[in-house]
């Protein structure tokens, strides 16, 4: 089992090859997957993209989990990808452009005291 602590409220565990997000020590049940697989030769074409949501609209969803398909990303690599994404989101003061909308707002309101602890300090 691997563990990554983003801050006092947010952590991730790799349990049986599954990345699990915890908010305030409670398991966060939300669909999550690494959205983008960007070939190195196409990175410069993405310079104008300003958010993960905008990238999601312009790029393919080939990494979206589909039953019966073998994952392209090993579980540990996916775990560290999620850790990195959540760390960047936290370091940028929970900037909603840094994380997909399906995840960022859900995490922020998962528990009221987490939300208010950060924004009312």
**pLDDT tens string 53-80:** 777 676 655 545 555 555 577 889 889 9
Is it the case that residue 15 has pLDDT exceeding 90? yes
| Number of domains forming the structure of the chain | 1
Domain that residue 37 falls in: 2-119
Confidence of residue 24 (pLDDT cuts 50, 70, 90): confident
Q: What's the rounded mean pLDDT across residues 19-41? A: 75
- Count Cβ atoms within 10 A of the Cβ of residue 107 and give its class: 0-12 exposed, 13-18 middle, 19 or more buried: buried
Q: What local confidence, expressed as pLDDT, does residue 78 receive?
A: 87
**Total-model pTM:** 0.71
Q: What's the rounded mean pLDDT across residues 93-105? A: 81
Question: CA 81, CA 89: separation in Å to the nearest integer?
Answer: 12
């Amino acid at each position: 089992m691997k563990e990554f602590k983003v801050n006092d409220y947010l952590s991730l565990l790799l349990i049986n090859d599954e990345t699990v997000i915890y908010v305030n020590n409670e398991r966060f049940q939300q669909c999550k997957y690494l959205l983008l697989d960007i070939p190195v030769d196409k990175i410069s074409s993405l310079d104008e993209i300003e958010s993960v949501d905008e990238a999601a609209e312009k790029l393919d969803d080939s990494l979206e989990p589909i039953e019966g398909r073998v994952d392209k990303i090993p579980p540990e690599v996916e775990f560290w990808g999620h850790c990195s994404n959540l760390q960047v989101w936290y370091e940028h003061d929970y900037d909603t452009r840094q994380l997909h909308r399906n995840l960022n707002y859900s995490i922020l309101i998962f528990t009221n005291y987490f939300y208010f602890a950060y924004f009312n300090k």
